[in-house]
Structure 1
């Protein structure tokens, strides 16, 4: 790791420790070896950097909106963290190839299945693109829920630290392997992936998936 990267990562961890109260014990559930798709709810641009900083040295790469590369400093950070730029309207072949390479290299690929940030912290409908990646690579997935960042701006004005809750679910995989997957099947799989996140949250925070029956037909838990 370059000196500049060590310095920035150290500053990043200091930032999170100063302004937040984070119980990181759940992160111990994340496997330390092998390729992994990390499915994360998306309420802030801080989830990715936080997970990157506190899962280090486990290599983690995240999909990030390509607009972040429009600003020099953010572009520097994105490139340093080896994030993958994505057009949220059209996930092209180059983006897919970059995702596949991360997994082929036995690293973690972090994805927000919702595709865009939730302003109120509640779950939005999952997008089919994430299901395509999951089905294509057929590797383990893990659901990670991060709650609390939506209170950051209010708390910082009151000089209060923000409490961040992290919940990590069980590693799971797709039941039906191989073959083609059409648009309807992709959406059904994306919804089931989102339900893996929903079960880690209070019902009132499940948004699009609130009050829905928790049934897993397309995925199964991976036994340790």
Structure 2
């Protein structure tokens, strides 16, 4: 690890410890070897950096909106953390290849299946693109629900630390491997991936998936 990266990571760790009270106890449930798709709910730009920092020495690369690279400082941070720029309207071939490379290197690829931030902290419907990656590479997936970041701004105004809880579910995989999947099946798979996240959250936080039956027909837990 380069000296500049160590400095950035040290400052990042200090920032999280000063500004937040993070319950990291369930991160021990994240497998420490092998390729892994980490499905994370999205309420802030801080989920990726936090998981990157506190899962070390496990290598984690997060997908991030390409607009972050328009700012010189943010672009430096994104490159330091090995983030992958993505056009949220059109996930191109270069993005896919970068994602596949991370998994081929037996690292963690962190994805927000919702595609965009939730302003109120509740789940939005998952996007079909994440299902394409999951089906194409057929590697284990793990749901990680991060809750609390949506309260950061209000707490900072009151000079209060924000409590962050992290819930880690069981690793799971797609049942039917290989072949092609059509757009309808991709969306069903994306919704099922989101259900793995939903079960880690209270009913009021499930948003789009609130009140929907928790049924898994396309995926199964890895025993």
TM norm. shorter chain > 0.5 = yes
Deviations 1:15-69 (A, max 9, x none): 1000100110100000000000000000000000000010011000010000000
Per the alignment, residue 115 of structure 1 pairs with: 115
Per the alignment, residue 47 of structure 1 pairs with: 47
Per the alignment, residue 33 of structure 2 pairs with: 33
In structure 1, C-alpha distance between the alignment counterparts of 2:151 and 2:80, rounded to whole Å: 28
Structure 1: where are the runs of 5+ without partners?
none
In structure 2, C-alpha distance between the alignment counterparts of 1:166 and 1:175, rounded to whole Å: 27
In structure 1, C-alpha distance between the alignment counterparts of 2:33 and 2:63, rounded to whole Å: 20
In structure 2, C-alpha distance between the alignment counterparts of 1:128 and 1:140, rounded to whole Å: 18
In structure 2, C-alpha distance between the alignment counterparts of 1:23 and 1:147, rounded to whole Å: 10
In structure 2, C-alpha distance between the alignment counterparts of 1:90 and 1:213, rounded to whole Å: 30
In structure 1, C-alpha distance between the alignment counterparts of 2:164 and 2:82, rounded to whole Å: 25
In structure 2, C-alpha distance between the alignment counterparts of 1:115 and 1:87, rounded to whole Å: 10
Q: What secondary structure does 1:155 align onto?
A: helix
Per the alignment, residue 87 of structure 1 pairs with: 87
In structure 2, C-alpha distance between the alignment counterparts of 1:22 and 1:64, rounded to whole Å: 22
In structure 2, C-alpha distance between the alignment counterparts of 1:84 and 1:46, rounded to whole Å: 15
Q: What secondary structure does 2:10 align onto?
A: helix
In structure 2, C-alpha distance between the alignment counterparts of 1:15 and 1:8, rounded to whole Å: 10
Q: What secondary structure does 1:159 align onto?
A: coil
Which aligned runs of 4 or more in structure 1 are off by greater than 4 angstroms?
none
Per the alignment, residue 16 of structure 1 pairs with: 16
In structure 1, C-alpha distance between the alignment counterparts of 2:73 and 2:106, rounded to whole Å: 28
- Please report the TM-score for the alignment, with normalisation by the length of structure 2: 0.99
Deviations 1:48-91 (A, max 9, x none): 00000100110000100000000000000001111100000000
RMSD: 0.4
In structure 1, C-alpha distance between the alignment counterparts of 2:145 and 2:23, rounded to whole Å: 13
Structure 2: where are the runs of 5+ without partners?
none
Per the alignment, residue 73 of structure 1 pairs with: 73
- Please report the TM-score for the alignment, with normalisation by the length of structure 1: 0.99
In structure 2, C-alpha distance between the alignment counterparts of 1:200 and 1:115, rounded to whole Å: 19
Query: How many pairs align?
Result: 223
2:170 maps to 1:159: no
